[in-house]
Amino acid sequence: MKLNFRIGMPLLVLSLLALAQAPALAEEPAAPPYTVAEGNNVDAKTFEGWKTWRAMACERCHGPNQEGLVGPSLVNSLKVLTKEQFVTTVTNGRPEKGMPNFGGIQSVVDNINNLYAYLKGRSDGAIKPGHVHKIAE
């Protein structure tokens, strides 16, 4: 019994400490999904996102600088939309409102996280408008 208490107490204290720390950890802001270096150089995934944006000509409706045309400004939208809402909107579209669905296009499905990373970087003001380049490895 004595031994159990001596091992049990510190364990209990440790578990309580761990529990107390948990909320603090949860509140830590998530790291951005992109990396930008000097001169609009971005990580390889964000670069793929930009290429997907270009290949799909999203700019026809959202503008070359993502600031809106017939479609809304995605610089503004990505401040509000969750990532899940972004993925749902691009995948399913909103056909009745003029937003096509891209869920049937494999390169968009494969690059949806990368597309989000690029647009989030634009929305955060971390990535400048226009051409981006891949950070040299």
Q: Which residues bind ligand HEC (CB under 6 A)?
A: 56, 58, 60-62, 70-72, 74, 77, 81, 86, 89-90, 94, 97-100, 102, 108, 115
Largest CA distance in the chain: 75
Closest CA to 25 of 17, 34, 35, 37: 17
What is the nearest approach in angstroms of ligand HEC to the Cβ of residue 100?
A: 5
User: CB of 58: closest distance to ligand HEC in angstroms?
Assistant: 3
How far from the centroid of its chain's Cα atoms is residue 17's Cα? 32
User: Rounded to whole angstroms, what are the CA distances from 96 to 32, 68, 101, 107?
Assistant: 32, 18, 11, 24
Closer by beta carbon to ligand HEC, 60 or else 128: 60
Answer whether 124's CB lies under 8 Å from 33's CB.
no
Least distance CB 124 / ligand HEC (angstroms) = 15
Nearer to ligand HEC, 94 or 128 (CB): 94
Q: Which CB, 23 or 130, lies closer to ligand HEC?
A: 130
Question: Residues of 4-37 as b/e, b for ≥16 C-beta within 10 angstroms?
Answer: eeeeeeeeeeeeeeeeeeeeeeeeeeeeebbbbe
Beta carbon nearer to ligand HEC, 1 or 57: 57
The least CB distance from residue 84 to ligand HEC, in Å, is 11
Using the minimum distance from each CB to ligand HEC, give the nearer residue, 81 or 117: 81
CB of 131 to ligand HEC, least distance (A): 17
